[in-house]
């Protein structure tokens, strides 16, 4: 309903939720804050957030009164054939930010919402009717988190936090088992990394070797050091820019970024990372915001493409419905290059479809159970959902606390999900991969 600066420090967002059903609708915990971020009371709608795409930051509501959220508290419900108003106060972005994306976990994102301006007024912040003035309450530390954009290919993953690039090279590709000699496949991967270092203005490149927790430190520590030194020697030959200081360390198994409790997580932990300042890209002109998708008269979102059931996610093998379909409803870029992917799952099988289990990346790179396994594919590159750099939370719905009746899609039911991505401007068409379904191909990024 509104997104307004009420002071240089605060932005107020207002929503109206309408219920067309004959029975009351309760959000349960679907709007509450993820368990590990931010440090706010969970009995509120603290899981709503704003995306400042210009500065690549995610804003959660402000806290006050010993961690209580400066937002609607209690777990709201919507009466039959009625509506409920919700409100949240956020830390304001810099003054030159004119638009933000509004992310309400139970609905597709609102892209490029213009920031208005209005005088501050008291807002209702709990179900008892208590009010607070966002400009006079004593608030806690603003919960504003930088974002990480992950892009994978066959040999490596690249994490972009807006300032640095961290290239994670899989040691399964770079080296033979328990060896530190580069494989033929490693040459192409390192050549690509060297080209990015040449484009960077930074003078320090950090190279860190890591193993999983198999074996013991007496083996893992020197092995990770030798592998990091091998990558350094290769980059010194390939990088053409002078004056670079290479800093090399071997960490063994001490700094996992994923779980060591499953093979996928251990594979991710076996890595050599190369960290350096991000090359400065050319500044494209701001894109004009696209018109939002318009639901049809029956409330259905548009359908850009469909695909039937495919290989089941490992965690639900044997339980995955064969008669199910994914429909892509939106693949739309905002003015800063962030892309909203919205899809609907349709189940026509006797087996229930578990969106919670199938959508989450169990390697541990992403926290919580969200839509972190969805991907957008262009050429050899696989773009992963955006996550915050501090807590690893996906920009998507928090399925970990969503009522199970919502995310368990029974026969004849549908369920809509979403995730946010960051795509370069040259990506005009792409394939979409939703876990458990065949790829939806050749979709236009509007």
How do residues 350-364 score in pLDDT, each as one tens digit? 999 999 888 888 888
**Position 265 pLDDT exceeds 70:** yes
What pLDDT is recorded for position 315?
A: 82
Helix or strand or coil: residue 315? helix
How do residues 71-94 score in pLDDT, each as one tens digit? 888 888 999 999 999 999 999 999
Task: Assess whether the region 147-277 and the region 305-444 belong to the same CATH fold.
Answer: no
- Model's pTM, two decimal places? 0.90
Helix or strand or coil: residue 224? helix
How do residues 375-415 score in pLDDT, each as one tens digit? 999 999 999 999 999 888 999 998 888 888 889 999 999 99
Q: Cα 31 from chain centroid?
A: 17
Pick the CATH number of 147-277 from 3.40.50.300, 3.30.1330.60, 3.40.640.10, 3.40.50.720: 3.30.1330.60
How do residues 429-440 score in pLDDT, each as one tens digit? 999 999 999 999
What pLDDT is recorded for position 35?
A: 73
**Position 309 pLDDT exceeds 60:** yes
At residue 295 the predicted structure's pLDDT band, cuts being 50, 70 and 90, is: low
Please compute the mean of the pLDDT values over residues 246-250 and round it to a whole number.
95
At residue 50 the predicted structure's pLDDT band, cuts being 50, 70 and 90, is: very high
Tell me if 390 sits within 8 A of 146, measured CB to CB: yes
How do residues 115-159 score in pLDDT, each as one tens digit? 998 887 777 666 667 777 777 777 777 889 999 999 999 889 999
Q: For the chain, which residues make up each domain, given as ranges? A: 2-142, 147-277, 305-444
Beta bridge mates, 345: 326, 415
Mean pLDDT (the chain, rounded): 89
- CATH code of the domain occupying 305-444: 2.60.40
Helix or strand or coil: residue 217? helix
How far apart, in whole angstroms, are the C-alpha atoms of residue 306 and residue 293?
A: 17
Please compute the mean of the pLDDT values over residues 19-32 and round it to a whole number.
91
Q: Is 134 exposed, middle or buried (0-12, 13-18, 19+ CB in 10 A)?
A: buried
């Amino acid at each position: 309903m509104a997104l307004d600066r009420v002071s240089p420090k605060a932005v107020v967002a207002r929503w109206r939720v309408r219920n067309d059903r004959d029975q009351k609708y309760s959000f349960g915990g679907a709007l509450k804050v993820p368990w590990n971020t931010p440090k706010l009371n969970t009995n509120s709608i603290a899981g709503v957030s704003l995306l400042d795409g210009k500065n690549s930051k995610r804003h959660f509501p402000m806290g006050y009164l010993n961690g209580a959220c400066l937002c609607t508290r209690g777990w709201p419900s919507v009466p039959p054939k009625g509506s409920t108003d919700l409100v949240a106060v956020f830390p304001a972005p810099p003054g030159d930010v004119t638009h933000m994306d509004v992310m309400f976990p139970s609905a597709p994102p609102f892209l490029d919402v213009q920031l208005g301006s209005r005088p501050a007024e008291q807002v209702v912040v709990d179900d008892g009717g208590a009010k607070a003035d966002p400009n006079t309450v004593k608030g806690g530390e603003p919960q504003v988190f930088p974002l990480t954009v992950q892009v994978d290919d066959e040999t490596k993953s690249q994490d972009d936090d807006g300032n640095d690039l961290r290239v994670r090279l899989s040691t399964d590709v770079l080296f033979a088992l328990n060896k530190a000699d580069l494989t033929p496949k490693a040459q192409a991967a390192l050549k690509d990394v060297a080209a990015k270092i040449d484009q960077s203005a930074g003078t320090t490149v950090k190279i860190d070797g890591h193993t999983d927790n198999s074996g013991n430190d007496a083996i893992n520590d020197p092995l990770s050091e030798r592998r990091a030194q091998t990558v350094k020697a290769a980059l010194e030959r390939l990088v053409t820019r002078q004056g670079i200081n290479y800093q090399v360390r071997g960490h063994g198994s001490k700094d996992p970024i994923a779980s060591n409790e499953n093979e996928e997580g251990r594979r991710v932990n076996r890595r050599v990372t190369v960290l350096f300042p991000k090359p400065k890209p050319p500044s494209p002109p701001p894109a004009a915001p696209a018109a939002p998708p318009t639901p049809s008269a029956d409330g259905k979102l548009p359908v850009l493409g469909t695909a039937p059931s495919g290989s089941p996610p490992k965690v639900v093998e044997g339980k995955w419905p064969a008669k199910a379909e994914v429909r892509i409803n939106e693949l739309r870029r905002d003015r800063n290059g962030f892309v909203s992917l919205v899809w609907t799952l349709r189940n026509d099988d006797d087996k229930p479809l578990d969106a919670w289990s199938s959508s989450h990346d169990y390697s541990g790179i992403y926290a919580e159970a969200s839509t972190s396994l969805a991907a957008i594919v262009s050429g050899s590159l696989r773009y992963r959902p955006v996550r915050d750099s501090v807590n690893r939370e996906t920009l998507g719905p928090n399925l970990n606390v969503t009522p199970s009746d919502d995310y368990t899609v029974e026969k004849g039911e549908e369920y809509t999900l979403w995730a946010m991505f960051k795509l370069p401007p040259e990506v005009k068409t792409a394939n979409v991969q939703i876990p458990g379904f065949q790829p939806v191909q050749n979709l236009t990024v509007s």
